[in-house]
Amino acid sequence: MRLGMLTACLPQWTLDRIAAWAAGAGYQALEVAVWPGTGDRDFVASHLPVADFGSEQVEQALALFDKHSLELSSLAYYENNLHPDPLRRDEIHTHLRHAIDAAQLLGVPSVGTFIGRDWNKSVADNLADAEQVFARHVDYAGERGVKLVIENCVMEGWHPDGYPGNLAYSPELWEWMFGLGLYLNWDPSHLTWLGIDPVETIAPYADRIEHAQAKDVELDPVARNRYGFFGKAFKEGNPWDMGWWRYRVPGLGQVDWPRVVDRLYEHGFTGTLSVEHEDPVWGGDERRVTQGLEIAHRTLRPLIVD
């Protein structure tokens, strides 16, 4: 197992600068954000130009990772593959294919994305749609020796009423998507606020956990007594404000990291545990973001066996 970090938390930095900082801070791998520069997310992180990726870009990227003795663990393009706007959906699918092509050229084993959801349709209709969409994606990736990994994020902010906007949030849905040939980018933070014990989800699905993300979550049961499990009804322009929980860097929330890492080892996980920094306390500017990454490193690195 290696300790890595997702580059999306430093969207204004170049990949060269991130690689130098990460290696100096003791990280061993990077999960590289490859958004195209525009999209539906509240950040834009484009650290490799996968839409225009030729031999020169490949050589530069490989030389950069070799220089800093880092592994490139996965390419990250987490967008809504079931977007209700057909033009936007086509854009997302095209860019996902670009990311898969770049992963093949770089020898990267996986590309991360979301199932997503068309919020105008029922869950059953979305699942039927996804089976057709991802049959094409999985075939395209498989022909290039790349696995598609799906993060189990709820993406409640994508739904106008705050319901799940990414239909991959529970083990029930994992079992469905594994049948499509997809793998899991396992993240314990989402499971924790949903009331699912993340440690108990490792053993049954260990053979499909291709990549893992390290994000913590802080729960506020008193606030939950006011808002209920589904969170705030009146979000005042912030669709991601649930009111009773927030993401934290590892070590500052409720996730039991020694148990998580031990159970991953127990069941043979040899991939990258990648810090995904979305902590509002340790965010806002690059200095606090890097301090948050340092806190995460101090929490997790002692648990990783050299």
**In terms of C-beta density within 10 A (0-12 exposed, 13-18 middle, 19 or more buried), how is residue 11 classed?**
middle
DSSP bridge partners of 289: none
- Backbone phi, then psi, for 218, in 5-degree steps? -110, 125
Q: Which helix (H) or strand (E) holds 39?
A: none
pLDDT tens digits, one per residue of 13-26: 999 999 999 999 99
Query: How far is Cα 279 from Cα 299, in angstroms, rounded to an integer?
Result: 15
pLDDT tens digits, one per residue of 34-79: 999 755 555 679 999 999 999 999 999 999 999 999 999 999 999 9
In this prediction, residues 190-213 reach a mean pLDDT of 98
- pTM of the predicted model over 0.85: yes
What domains can you pick out in the chain, each with its CATH number? Answer: 2-303 (3.20.20.150)
Between strands 216-219 and 245-248, the pairing is antiparallel
